[in-house]
Structure 1
Amino acid sequence: MATKIVLGWREWAALPDLGVGRLRAKVDSGARSSALHVDTQWNFHERGEPWVGFRLSPGHGAGMIEAAAPVFDVREVTDSGGHCTRRVFVRTTLALAGVERTIEMNLSDRRGMLFPMLLGRTALARVFTVDPARSFLHGRLPANAAPVVSLKSLR
Structure 2
Amino acid sequence: MAPRVVLGWREWLALPALGIVAIRAKVDTGARSSSLHVDKQWRFTEGGAPWAGFRISTGILGGQVIEAQAPVHDERPVTDSGGNASLRVFLRTPLRVAGVEREVEINLTDRRGMLFPMLLGRTALARAFVIDPARSFLHGKPSFGAPTE
TM-score (norm 2): 0.96
- Which AA in structure 1 matches 2:75? V
Q: Corresponding residue for 2:135?
A: 134
Aligned pairs (5 A) from 1:1-155: 1-60=1-60, 61-141=62-142, 145-151=143-149
Instruction: Spell out, residue by residue over 1:66-112, the C-alpha distance to the aligned partner (whole angstroms, 9 max, x if none).
Output: 00000000010001110000000000110100011100000000001
- Which AA in structure 2 matches 1:79? D
* 4+ residue segments displaced more than 6 Å: none
The separation in 2 between residues aligned to 1:116 and 1:73, in whole angstroms, is 21
Q: Which has the higher strand share?
A: 2
Structure 2's unaligned 5+ residue stretches are none
The separation in 2 between residues aligned to 1:99 and 1:3, in whole angstroms, is 12
Q: Give the RMSD, CA atoms, in angstroms.
A: 1.1
Change (3 A) 1:150 1:52: farther
Q: Identity rate of aligned residues, in percent?
A: 66
SS at structure 1 position matched to 2:76 = strand
Offset of residue 123 of structure 1: 0.3
Structure 1's unaligned 5+ residue stretches are none
The separation in 1 between residues aligned to 2:141 and 2:80, in whole angstroms, is 28
Offset of residue 38 of structure 1: 0.2
Q: Retained in 1: the 8 A contact 2:4–2:129? A: yes
Residue correspondences, number? 148
Offset of residue 62 of structure 1: 4.8
The separation in 1 between residues aligned to 2:63 and 2:16, in whole angstroms, is 14
Offset of residue 147 of structure 1: 4.4
